[in-house]
Amino acid sequence: MTGPKPLGEVGEAAIAKHTSRASAIPSGADQLLRPRADSSLPGFLRSLPGVDQVGLEARAAALATRSIKAGAKILALETAISMVDLTTLEGDDTPGKVRALCAKAKAPDPADPGVGPVAAVCIYPDLVSLAKAELANSPVLVAAVATAFPSGRSPLSVKLADVEAAVEAGADEVDMVIDRAALLAGDYARVLLEVREVKKACGGAHLKVILETGELATYDNINRASWIAMLGGADFIKTSTGKVAPASTLPVALLMMEAVREYHGETGRPVGVKVAGGIRTAKDAIRYLVLVNETLPGQWMSKSLFRFGASSLLNDLLVQRYKQIHGVYGGPDDYSLE
């Protein structure tokens, strides 16, 4: 039986065509392909070393045991707050719910002006214009999910229209989902093509590429997806939609950070990492910050290159910050549920 063609329906011709479009290619990315004996995308991906599952998981587990000194814990909590993409992605997201989300994003703890705003709110495209109005004159960005989120199962023309509508409404960032079925079938060119076309449609908006790692089956596939997203021009690579289990895990995040580090070393272009799904406690967040600190250069310890996609996480960060400052936990009604 003949297996699937590595480049599927898109084919080598499409890769050549789209590789020639300078506007769709991040600076330095093509230099990664040219020195290879097989300079095709599949050839490049085959040249990536296999992921050592045992070593990866052992390193992630070891880093998870690292503790932060008491004096640095408040700074860690405040840094994590500044990195949150405060998210609501439900079918019952009303205008009132989004207004409340935006208010919390601007002032997470209204009783303490020392708590700065979060990085962004993350919502569906049809709510972008409302969020932009609510967040006017604030540093909080508006991120919109797009490209048939969360499944990614629509024609490319529909996905691009989704992105264009979000950007036209004022989205500062777009969180797209890759076609996981194409990647699992070995149709890497289709995945790369879609990322590049979405990047072009974003215009000046930053692009976060969601890998949906829980559906990619192996660490090798996650590594390939990370490289494809970065070669396609992603400003961030993101673990998950939050709709699939398992979502973000420490080994997956570590693997993605290592890919980002190598890509940066090869091209000089920094790519951010966003972890999302299942991150609910301050302890979880600090573990991810330890990964960042131990794996990536210092510039990644900022909202410009690292984010948490979360809803309930923010409350626990606020609770733990209060405890560090005052020595006691605040009451259960001190923070909004949303």
The tens digit of pLDDT for each residue in 173-229 reads: 999 999 999 999 999 999 999 999 999 999 999 999 999 999 999 999 999 999 999
pLDDT of 332 above 70 = no
Q: What is the mean pLDDT of residues 329-333?
A: 66
**Residue 274 known to be catalytic:** yes
- Identify which has the larger pLDDT, 33 or 125: 125
The tens digit of pLDDT for each residue in 282-295 reads: 999 999 999 999 99
Q: Please report, for residues 9, 26, 95, 299, the alpha-carbon distance to residue 271 in angstroms, rounded to integers and kept in the order given.
A: 29, 11, 33, 11
Question: Does residue 69 fall inside a structural domain?
Answer: no
Q: Please report, for residues 52, 64, 68, 279, the alpha-carbon distance to residue 219 in angstroms, rounded to integers and kept in the order given.
A: 9, 19, 29, 20
pLDDT tier at 160, thresholds 50, 70, 90:
very high
Question: Does residue 36 fall inside a structural domain?
Answer: no
Question: Does residue 334 fall inside a structural domain?
Answer: no
Tokens for 328, please give them: 């006691």
Question: Does residue 106 fall inside a structural domain?
Answer: yes
The C-alpha atoms of residue 274 and residue 217 are separated, in whole angstroms, by 20
pLDDT of 3 above 60 = no
The tens digit of pLDDT for each residue in 136-146 reads: 999 999 999 99
Q: Which domain holds residue 170?
A: 80-326
**Residue 109 known to be catalytic:** no
Q: Among candidates 208, 197, 196, which has minimal Cα distance to 171?
A: 208
pLDDT of residue 68: 85
DSSP state at residue 331: P
**Residue 238 known to be catalytic:** yes
Question: Does residue 285 fall inside a structural domain?
Answer: yes
The tens digit of pLDDT for each residue in 18-71 reads: 343 333 445 456 556 554 444 588 889 989 999 999 999 999 999 999 988 878
pLDDT of residue 336: 65
DSSP state at residue 284: H
Catalytic one of 238, 284, 303, 316: 238
pLDDT of 12 above 90 = no
Asked whether the beta carbons of 282 and 320 are under 8 A apart, the reply is yes
Question: Does residue 8 fall inside a structural domain?
Answer: no
CA angle 289, 176, 210 (to 5 degrees): 40
pLDDT of residue 40: 82
* Number of neighbouring beta carbons within 10 Å of residue 294: 13
Catalytic one of 104, 159, 208, 274: 274
Is this prediction's pTM over 0.85? yes
Q: Among candidates 106, 229, 318, which has minimal Cα distance to 329?
A: 318
Question: Does residue 19 fall inside a structural domain?
Answer: no
pLDDT of residue 212: 98
CATH number of the CATH domain containing 317: 3.20.20.70
Catalytic one of 162, 172, 175, 187: 175
Number of domains in the chain: 1
Question: Does residue 223 fall inside a structural domain?
Answer: yes
The tens digit of pLDDT for each residue in 236-290 reads: 999 999 999 999 999 999 999 999 999 999 999 999 999 999 999 999 999 999 9
